[in-house]
Structure 1
Amino acid sequence: MDFLQTAPQLVHPYRNDRTLLALLDRAVPPDRRSALDADLDALGDYAQLAWERARRSTPRTPVLTQWDAWGQRVDRIELTTAWQEGPQLTTRHAILAAGHEPHELARLEQFARVYLYHLASEFYTCPLAMTDGAVAALKASGNQALIERALPHFLSRDAATFWLSGQWMTETAGGSDVGRTGTVARQDATGQWRLHGRKWFSSAVVGEAALALARPEGAGDGTGALALFYVETMDGPARKPELVIDRLKDKLGTRELPTAEIHLDGLPAWPLGELAHGVRQVAPMLNVTRTWNAVCAVASMARALALACDYAARREAFGRPLIEQPLHAQTLADLRAQFEGAFALAFEVVQLLGRVEQGRAAPHEAALLRLLTPLAKLWTAKAAVALCSEALECFGGAGYIEDTGLPQLLRDAQVYAIWEGTTNVLALDSLRALAEGLPALRTAIEGWVNGSHEPEAVAPIHAALDAASAQLQALGGERADLEASARGLAITLARCAAAALLARQSTFARERGDMRPGAALRRFTAHGLERLAVTAVADTRLLL
C-alpha cells in the first residue's frame, strides 16, 4: 500500500502559543485576564475553523460587477466568506474598540486579538488597520463634528452600525511621493467640498468612509499645499455615484482583499482641519497602521512556524521523524528564535503606543516610540518573508503546491514590506528620529537587560549599539552617506532592541522555571546583531 503523508494540523493558535501566553502572564493583571481570555480563545477557535475551511474549499477572490442587467452602474463587489463575517467578528470581540478603552493596556489587549484574528480574517485586518488609523487622525484633528459623526461607527460594538474607513493616498505618480497628488478639491455653489481625481490603490473601497489627500483648487504645488479630507462612500445601501470603481487589482498575494483603482467624480468631502499640510495630518495614523503591519507580520511568522513544527513531528524520513533529524531541528530552532525576537519587538511597540496614548509614558518613551515604530515595521516585514520562505522549504515539494494552502503564506507575507512604507522609506524615516530616539533606545535597553542572567548574550547588544553609534559619528553630517547606510543602521538597531527585549523576557521566565526564552536569546544573538552597511559610493555607481 502506498504511503500517504498526513497534512500538517493547526494547533490552537491561542492555547498553544507559549510566546503570547508568556507576554500576557507578564503584562496583564489577573483581574483583566478572564474577559480577555474569552475573546482570545474564541478567536483561536475561529482561526482553526478558517484554516480547515480554506483547506476544504476552492480559493475565492472578490468579484466586481460594474453594471447590472439593465445597464445601471452598480460597482458591486462580492466578498469572500471571511470578509462577510468580518463585521460580526470585529464587533463581537472588540478588535477595534478594545484599543480605545481608557487604560494603558488597551493596545496590548487589542493587538493580542489582532494577532490571532489576522490570518483567519483573510486580511480583513487591512481595512481595520486603516480604520484604526482614521480614528487616530480624527482625534488629533480636534474636528468635533467629524469625531462625533464617525467615531461611534468606527468603534462600534454592533455590526449593524459598524463602519470601515479607507485611506486614499496613492496615485499613479507614485506611492511615497504624495507631493505629486493630482486629486483636486473644489467647492460647489453651496460651499460643499467635492473631490475630483484618480486613486490608484484603494484597499478599503468596500468601507463606508475614507480619508483622502487632495489639493484644494487654487492651492500651490508640492506637499505642503495638500489637505486631508473625510469622505463617506455609501448612499443608503448603494455606493455613491460619484465614486467609480475602475477595476480590482490582480495581486501576488492578499488576493481575498479587494484592492481597487477608483475615480472620484465630485464625491462630497469635509476637511479635517486647515486646507494645507494634509500629510502632517496623516502622521498620527502612522504609529497605528505601522504597528498593525508589524503585528500582522509576526502573526504570519507564527502560523508558518506552527505548521512547520507540526509537520516535522508527523513526517518521517530516513527512519525517524523530521523533528528528530539534527539539521532540521536546528533549522526550526533558528526560525523560532527569529520569531520570538520579532514578536518581542512588535509587542513592545504595541505597549509603548498604549502608554503614550494614555499619557502614562516615561519621559523617554515618546521618542522611543517614534524610533521603534518604523524599525519594528521594516524589520518584522523582512523577517516574515524570510521565515515564511524557509518554512515552505521545510515541507519539501508540498510547500510549493497551491492547494496545501502553504504558498499563500509566502505570497501574502511579501506585502508587509510594501504597505505603510517600503523598507528604504522606513529606514530613511528612522534616520529622522535618531537624534532623540537613539539616546531613548539606550535608556530603554539598559532597563530591559538589567538583572539579566545571560551576560554573554547581553554583551553583543552593547557592542552592536556602539558600532552603530560609531558609524553615525564617522559619517558625520554627510547626507548621501547617511542615507546609503540607513537600512543597515535600522536593521542593526531593530535587532539590538529585539535582543534586549528577549533578555527581559528570559529574566522573567527563568524566575518561573521556564528556560526556553533564554535559549531563544542565546540563539538570536549568536546569529549576530550588526547589519551595518559599507557605503562605498563609487562602487555603488559602478554597479548600477
Structure 2
Amino acid sequence: MHIRPLSAPTGPEAVPDAAGANLWRADPAFARLLPLYLPEDLRAVLEPQLDRLGALAGGALDALAMTADRNGPELIHRTRRGEDAQSIAYHPAYREMERLAFSEFGLAAMSHRPGVFGWPAPLPPAAKYALTFLFAQAEFGLLCPVSMTDSLARTLRRYGPKALVERYLPLLTSQDLDALHQGAMFMTEQGAGSDIAATAVAARPNPDGTWALSGDKWFCSNADAELALVLARIEGAAAGLKGVGLFLLARTLPDGTPNRYRIVRLKEKLGTRSMASGEVRLEGATAWLIGDPEAGFKQMADMVNNSRLSNGVRAAGMMRRCVHEALHVARHRIAFGRRLIEMPLMRRQLAKMLMRAEQARSMVFTTAEALRRADAGEEAARPLLRILTPLLKYRACRDARAVAGDAMEVRGGCGYIEEWPEPKLLRDSHLGSIWEGTSNIVALDVLRAARREGGLAALDSLVQERLAEAPLEHAAPCFARAAALLERAQGDEALARSAAAALYHVASAVVMNWEAARTADAHRAALAAMVLRHRVLPRDPLAAEDAEAALLPGLLEAA
C-alpha cells in the first residue's frame, strides 16, 4: 500500500520545541520504578512534589537555569567605601534556584532531619535522588553546592567533635535561606589534584586548640560557602597521606569576624557557569581539626564518595533530559515526508540513547538502596555501596557526554545554538567525568573497592539474587568474565577501565531485567537485553543487526 508523504510545516511551526513540558509526567518509567525503591506511604507524599518539580524543571526552573548560565557570578573585592570585604554577586535567577533547591524542596536537609514535606523522619536516599534526578534535568551547577552542603553535614556528623556538630549542623540543614550555611570542600592544589599525598597547604596548631591554615587551593567550587572541609598537611607530621588532616573552615568566625582567607579569582568554566568556582588563598585561616589527624583523606573520602554518587545521579538526570528532547524532536520534526522517529537509523540512535539513560537510572536507585541499608547499619551493604558508587560515577558520567552529543545531533543545527538546551547539557555533562576524580582515578577506585573492601563479592551476591528472581540470558557467564577481568586488572591496571565498564554493563542489565519483571514492563526487559547485546557480548561489526528492529517502535513509543 502506498503511504502518502506527510506535508512538512514551514517557518517556526517546523521547529519542535519541548519547552513547558512536565518532565515527571513525560517520563512514565519513573513512576513505574518508584514502588520498587520507596514505600507506599512515602510515595503518596513524594509524588506530588515530583509532579511539581517536573513542571518546574521543564518550565520555570529551566528558564532560570538558562538565564543564570548566561549571567555568571562576579567576584567583588571591595565595598564602595573601600573596605576589603569580598563578596560574590549572583544573578537573581541563581538566587531563585537556591531558594527552590535549599528551601522549597529541602534537598540538602532531607537526609539529616525530619520535617521536609512534613515527613516525620529523615527521607531515604532514593527520595532525595529522585528529586535530584528531576532537578538536574534543568540545572547541574547549583546541585554542586547542594551536594556539598549535604555531604559536609554527613561528614561532620560522622567525624566532627560534638561542639562543632551542635553549632553548625542546624545551619547546614536549615531551609531558611537567611540561616542556611552552605558547604564546600577545598582539596585541589596546583600540584595536588587526584594525588592528595602531594598536598602542600600547611596546618599549624594555635594555642587555643584551633589550627592556622596557609597556602593556595586551586579549584574551590561554591567558593564563598559559609563552611568548607579542607585538606592540609599538618606541621611536623609524616610524609604522604598520613600527614594530611581534615579541617573545618568557616568563612565567618564565631565572634563575627571574617576568617583570614580570600578568593583570588573566579574560574571561567566550560560548564556549570551559574555556580562560582575560584582560587582561594589561605592566610593563616582559623580552622578546626576533624577526627583523626592521620586519617584526613580517609574521612574526606566519605564526602567525596557522596559527591561521586551525586555526580552519577546528575549524569542520569541529564541523560533523561537529552532523551526527552531528542524524542520530542523525532516525534514532531518532519523531513522527506516522514517523522524522524519513523526512520530506521533514527530509531536505532534513539534506542541506544535511551538504553544508556535507563542503565544509569537503574544503577542510581540500586546504589541509593545500598546507601539506605548501609546507613541503617547493615554491614553487608557497605561493600556493595563502596563498589557501586565508583562504578556509577565512572560509566554514567562518561555515557552522559555521548548521549548529550547525540541529542545535539538529533536536533540538528538548532542543537548547536545556545538558545536551546543541548549546548548547556553538553557542556555540563563533561564535568561529571572530572569532578571528584577523573575516569582513570575512579576506575582504579573500583579496583580498591574490590580488593580491600569486598566490593566484588558483594556485587556478585546482588547480581545472583536478581538473576534468581529474574533470569537474563547470557548474564551469569558475562558477569563471571567481567569479575575475572577485574581480578586480572589487580595485576595490570591498564585493564581497570575495561573491567569497570564490564561490571557496570552486566550489573545494570541484570537490575533492569529484575525491575522489568517486578513491574511487568516488557520494554524495560528489551532494554536490558540490548545492554548485553550492544555493550558486553562479542559482535561481528560486519553482520546485519536486526535483532531489535521490530521492537524499536514500541520501545520508543513507551519511553
Q: TM-score, normalised on structure 2?
A: 0.87
Q: Does 1:88 align with 2:94?
A: no
From 457, 464, 478, the counterpart of 2:478: 464
Contact persistence 1:168–1:213 (CA under 8 A): yes
For 2:272, the equivalent position in structure 1 comes to 254
For 1:384, the equivalent position in structure 2 comes to 400
Distance, in Å, in 2 between the alignment partners of 1:87 and 1:255 is 15
Contact persistence 1:308–1:394 (CA under 8 A): yes
Aligned positions of 1:172-321 closer than 5 A: 172-234=190-252, 240=258, 242-321=260-339
Q: CA RMSD in A?
A: 2.4
Q: Does 1:397 align with 2:413?
A: yes
Distance, in Å, in 2 between the alignment partners of 1:428 and 1:476 is 9
Distance, in Å, in 2 between the alignment partners of 1:285 and 1:58 is 26
Deviations 1:50-96 (A, max 9, x none): 22456689821111122334432232211133431244222222212
**What percent of counterpart residues are identical?**
33
Alpha-carbon distance change, 387 to 504 in structure 1, aligned in 2, over 3 angstroms: same
1:159 offset after TM fit, Å? 2.3
Deviations 1:275-319 (A, max 9, x none): 322111212223311110110010110111111111112211001
Distance, in Å, in 1 between the alignment partners of 2:246 and 2:348 is 50
Moved more, 497-506 or 83-92: 83-92
Alpha-carbon distance change, 476 to 132 in structure 1, aligned in 2, over 3 angstroms: closer
Alpha-carbon distance change, 100 to 22 in structure 1, aligned in 2, over 3 angstroms: farther
For 1:50, the equivalent position in structure 2 comes to 61
1:498 offset after TM fit, Å? 0.4
For 1:415, the equivalent position in structure 2 comes to 431
Amino acid at match of 2:37: A
Alpha-carbon distance change, 58 to 258 in structure 1, aligned in 2, over 3 angstroms: closer
Q: Does 1:37 align with 2:44?
A: no
1:191 offset after TM fit, Å? 4.2
Distance, in Å, in 1 between the alignment partners of 2:110 and 2:349 is 37
For 1:339, the equivalent position in structure 2 comes to 357
Q: Does 1:79 align with 2:90?
A: yes
Alpha-carbon distance change, 468 to 316 in structure 1, aligned in 2, over 3 angstroms: same
Alpha-carbon distance change, 204 to 239 in structure 1, aligned in 2, over 3 angstroms: farther
Deviations 1:234-260 (A, max 9, x none): 369999251211111111111111100
Q: Which secondary structure does the structure 1 equivalent of 2:463 belong to? A: helix
Deviations 1:164-204 (A, max 9, x none): 11101111103111111111122345443221111101102
Moved more, 143-152 or 292-301: 143-152
1:104 offset after TM fit, Å? 9.1
Contact persistence 1:287–1:353 (CA under 8 A): no
Aligned positions of 1:394-543 closer than 5 A: 394-435=410-451, 436-452=454-470, 455=471, 458-472=472-486, 475=488, 479=491, 481=492, 483-510=493-520, 514-529=521-536
For 1:99, the equivalent position in structure 2 comes to 111
Contact persistence 1:82–1:120 (CA under 8 A): no
Q: Does 1:323 align with 2:341?
A: yes
Distance, in Å, in 1 between the alignment partners of 2:406 and 2:257 is 43
Distance, in Å, in 2 between the alignment partners of 1:476 and 1:421 is 19
1:449 offset after TM fit, Å? 2.2
Contact persistence 1:165–1:210 (CA under 8 A): yes
Q: Does 1:24 align with 2:34?
A: yes
Alpha-carbon distance change, 55 to 412 in structure 1, aligned in 2, over 3 angstroms: closer
Contact persistence 2:218–2:280 (CA under 8 A): yes
Amino acid at match of 1:97: A
1:142 offset after TM fit, Å? 4.9
1:101 offset after TM fit, Å? 5.0
Alpha-carbon distance change, 121 to 341 in structure 1, aligned in 2, over 3 angstroms: closer
Distance, in Å, in 1 between the alignment partners of 2:456 and 2:65 is 44
Alpha-carbon distance change, 386 to 476 in structure 1, aligned in 2, over 3 angstroms: closer
Alpha-carbon distance change, 239 to 328 in structure 1, aligned in 2, over 3 angstroms: farther
Distance, in Å, in 1 between the alignment partners of 2:232 and 2:67 is 45
Amino acid at match of 2:38: V
Alpha-carbon distance change, 58 to 420 in structure 1, aligned in 2, over 3 angstroms: closer
Moved more, 2-11 or 459-468: 2-11
Alpha-carbon distance change, 110 to 519 in structure 1, aligned in 2, over 3 angstroms: same
Q: Which secondary structure does the structure 2 equivalent of 1:186 belong to? A: strand
Alpha-carbon distance change, 287 to 122 in structure 1, aligned in 2, over 3 angstroms: closer
Alpha-carbon distance change, 15 to 211 in structure 1, aligned in 2, over 3 angstroms: same
Contact persistence 2:407–2:422 (CA under 8 A): no
Alignment gaps of 5+ in structure 1: 532-544
Distance, in Å, in 2 between the alignment partners of 1:370 and 1:57 is 35
Amino acid at match of 1:92: E
Alpha-carbon distance change, 17 to 157 in structure 1, aligned in 2, over 3 angstroms: same
Distance, in Å, in 2 between the alignment partners of 1:215 and 1:153 is 28
Amino acid at match of 2:410: C
Q: Does 1:9 align with 2:18?
A: yes
1:3 offset after TM fit, Å? 2.6
Distance, in Å, in 1 between the alignment partners of 2:113 and 2:484 is 42
Distance, in Å, in 1 between the alignment partners of 2:391 and 2:292 is 31
Alpha-carbon distance change, 237 to 306 in structure 1, aligned in 2, over 3 angstroms: farther
Amino acid at match of 2:44: S
For 1:365, the equivalent position in structure 2 comes to 381
Distance, in Å, in 1 between the alignment partners of 2:505 and 2:140 is 29
Alpha-carbon distance change, 460 to 337 in structure 1, aligned in 2, over 3 angstroms: same
Contact persistence 2:171–2:179 (CA under 8 A): yes
Q: Which secondary structure does the structure 2 equivalent of 1:383 belong to? A: helix
Distance, in Å, in 2 between the alignment partners of 1:414 and 1:271 is 34
Moved more, 428-437 or 490-499: 428-437
Alignment gaps of 5+ in structure 2: 1-8, 115-120, 539-559
Distance, in Å, in 1 between the alignment partners of 2:456 and 2:315 is 25
Contact persistence 1:374–1:427 (CA under 8 A): yes
Amino acid at match of 1:139: R
Alpha-carbon distance change, 265 to 151 in structure 1, aligned in 2, over 3 angstroms: same
Moved more, 169-178 or 66-75: 66-75
Distance, in Å, in 2 between the alignment partners of 1:57 and 1:188 is 41
Alpha-carbon distance change, 465 to 319 in structure 1, aligned in 2, over 3 angstroms: same
Distance, in Å, in 1 between the alignment partners of 2:86 and 2:479 is 53
1:476 offset after TM fit, Å? 8.3
Distance, in Å, in 2 between the alignment partners of 1:153 and 1:303 is 33
Q: Does 1:126 align with 2:126?
A: no
Q: Which secondary structure does the structure 2 equivalent of 1:100 belong to? A: coil
Contact persistence 2:226–2:252 (CA under 8 A): yes
Distance, in Å, in 1 between the alignment partners of 2:34 and 2:522 is 17
Q: TM-score, normalised on structure 1?
A: 0.90
For 1:541, the equivalent position in structure 2 comes to none
1:364 offset after TM fit, Å? 3.2
Contact persistence 1:509–1:517 (CA under 8 A): no
Q: Does 1:155 align with 2:164?
A: no
For 1:375, the equivalent position in structure 2 comes to 391
Alpha-carbon distance change, 193 to 311 in structure 1, aligned in 2, over 3 angstroms: same
